[in-house]
Structure 1
Amino acid sequence: MHTQSSITLLYTSDIHGNAMPILYGTNEEAPIGLAKYAAIVKQIRQQEENLIVIDNGDLIQGTPLMTHHVKEHHHKENPMIGIMNRIGIDASVIGNHEFNFGEKILTDAVNQSSFPWLSANILNKSTGETQFGPPYIIKNMKDGIKVAIVGVTTHYIPNWEAPAHIRGLQFEDAFTTLQSWVKKIREIEKPDVLIASYHGGFERDLETGEPTEPFTGENQAYQMCEQIKGIDVLLTGHQHRQLHDTLHDVLILQPGKNGQAYGKVHLALEKKNGEWDITEKRGALHTFENTESDKEIIDYMLDMESSTQQWLDQPIGFIEGDMTIKSPFEARVKKHPFIQFIQNVQIVESGVDISVTSLLNNASTGFGSVVTMRDIVSNYMYPNTLAVLELTGEAIKAALEKSAEYFTVVNNKLVVNPSYIAPKPQHYNYDMWEGIEYTIHASNPVGSRVTAITYHGEPLDYHRTYQVVLNNYRASGGGNYDMLKNKPIIQEIQKDTVELIRAYFEKHKTVKANVKDNFRVLV
Structure 2
Amino acid sequence: MSVTKCRVVILETSDLHGFIFPRSYADHAEARRGLAKVAGAVSLMRREHPQTLLIDNGDCLQGTPLTYYHARVNDKPNNPVVACMNELRYDAAVPGNHEFNYGLPYLQSAVRASRFPWLSANTVDIATGKPYFGRPYLIRQFDGGLRVGLLGLTTSYIPNWEQPAHIAGIRFEDPVDTARKWVDFLKQTERVDAVIVSYHGGFERDLQTGRPSEKLTGENVGYAICENVPGIDVLLTGHQHRAIAGSRINGVCIVQPANEGRFLGKVTLTAERHADGWNITETQSELIPADRFEPDPAVLEIAGEVEALAQTWLDQPIGFVEGSMAIDSHEDVRLREHPLIEFINRVQMDVSGADISNTALFDNQSPGFGERITMRDIVANYIYPNTLKVIRVSGRDIRAALEQSAEYFELGEDGRITVSRAYLAPKPQHYNYDMWEGIDYVLDISKPAGQRVTKLERDGKPLDENEQFEVVMNNYRAGGGGNFTMFQGKPVIKDIAKDMVEILADYIRERRTIKAEANGNWKIIGGAGR
TM-score normalised to structure 1 length: 0.98
Residues 2 and 143 of structure 1 are in contact (CA less than 8 Å); yes or no, is this contact kept in structure 2?
A: no
Deviates more, 1:306-315 or 1:227-236: 306-315
The correspondence of residues 467-506 of structure 1 with structure 2, limited to 5 A, is 467-506=470-509
The C-alpha deviation readout for 1:92-142, integer Å capped at 9, x for no partner, is 001000000011110101111110000000111111011112111111112
State the AA in 1 paired with 2:494: Q
Q: Aligned to 1:250, which of 249, 252, 261?
A: 252
State the AA in 1 paired with 2:520: D
**Residue 2 to residue 68, structure 1, CA distance change in 2 (3 Å):** farther
Deviates more, 1:26-35 or 1:315-324: 26-35
The C-alpha deviation readout for 1:159-180, integer Å capped at 9, x for no partner, is 0001110111111111111111
The Cα of 1:2 is off from its aligned counterpart by: 6.8
Q: Aligned to 2:348, which of 337, 346, 349?
A: 346
Deviates more, 1:341-350 or 1:294-303: 294-303
Deviates more, 1:27-36 or 1:230-239: 27-36
Which structure 2 residue ranges, 5 or more long, are not aligned?
none
Q: Aligned to 2:428, which of 421, 425, 429?
A: 425
Residues 74 and 105 of structure 1 are in contact (CA less than 8 Å); yes or no, is this contact kept in structure 2?
A: no
1:380 aligns with 2:382: yes
Distance in 2 (CA, whole Å) between partners of 1:403 and 1:71 is 31
In the other structure, the counterpart of 2:217 is: 216
Distance in 2 (CA, whole Å) between partners of 1:67 and 1:223 is 34
In the other structure, the counterpart of 2:196 is: 195
In the other structure, the counterpart of 1:79 is: 80
Q: Aligned to 1:401, which of 400, 403, 406?
A: 403
In the other structure, the counterpart of 1:304 is: 306
Distance in 1 (CA, whole Å) between partners of 2:345 and 2:356 is 9
Distance in 1 (CA, whole Å) between partners of 2:372 and 2:403 is 37
In the other structure, the counterpart of 1:266 is: 268
In the other structure, the counterpart of 2:338 is: 336
The Cα of 1:298 is off from its aligned counterpart by: 1.4
In the other structure, the counterpart of 1:153 is: 154
State the AA in 1 paired with 2:505: R
The correspondence of residues 351-366 of structure 1 with structure 2, limited to 5 A, is 351-366=353-368
CA RMSD in angstroms, aligned pairs only = 1.2
The Cα of 1:362 is off from its aligned counterpart by: 1.1
Residues 438 and 453 of structure 1 are in contact (CA less than 8 Å); yes or no, is this contact kept in structure 2?
A: yes
State the AA in 2 paired with 1:406: Y
Distance in 2 (CA, whole Å) between partners of 1:423 and 1:103 is 30
Residues 153 and 200 of structure 1 are in contact (CA less than 8 Å); yes or no, is this contact kept in structure 2?
A: yes
The C-alpha deviation readout for 1:435-461, integer Å capped at 9, x for no partner, is 000110111111111022111222111
TM-score normalised to structure 2 length: 0.97
- Matched length: 523
State the AA in 2 paired with 1:261: F
Counterpart secondary structure, 1:118:
coil
Amino-acid identity (%): 48
Residues 77 and 306 of structure 2 are in contact (CA less than 8 Å); yes or no, is this contact kept in structure 1?
A: no
State the AA in 2 paired with 1:408: E
In the other structure, the counterpart of 2:182 is: 181
Distance in 2 (CA, whole Å) between partners of 1:105 and 1:508 is 32
State the AA in 2 paired with 1:155: S
Distance in 2 (CA, whole Å) between partners of 1:32 and 1:200 is 22
Counterpart secondary structure, 1:22:
coil
Distance in 1 (CA, whole Å) between partners of 2:481 and 2:264 is 28
In the other structure, the counterpart of 1:412 is: 415
The C-alpha deviation readout for 1:168-220, integer Å capped at 9, x for no partner, is 11111111111111111111112111100000000000111110111111000
Counterpart secondary structure, 2:239:
coil
The Cα of 1:288 is off from its aligned counterpart by: 1.4
1:144 aligns with 2:124: no
Distance in 2 (CA, whole Å) between partners of 1:33 and 1:445 is 42
Distance in 2 (CA, whole Å) between partners of 1:412 and 1:71 is 46
The Cα of 1:274 is off from its aligned counterpart by: 4.6
Counterpart secondary structure, 2:291:
coil
1:88 aligns with 2:89: yes
Residues 49 and 142 of structure 1 are in contact (CA less than 8 Å); yes or no, is this contact kept in structure 2?
A: no
State the AA in 2 paired with 1:273: A
Distance in 1 (CA, whole Å) between partners of 2:23 and 2:219 is 31
Residues 93 and 152 of structure 1 are in contact (CA less than 8 Å); yes or no, is this contact kept in structure 2?
A: yes
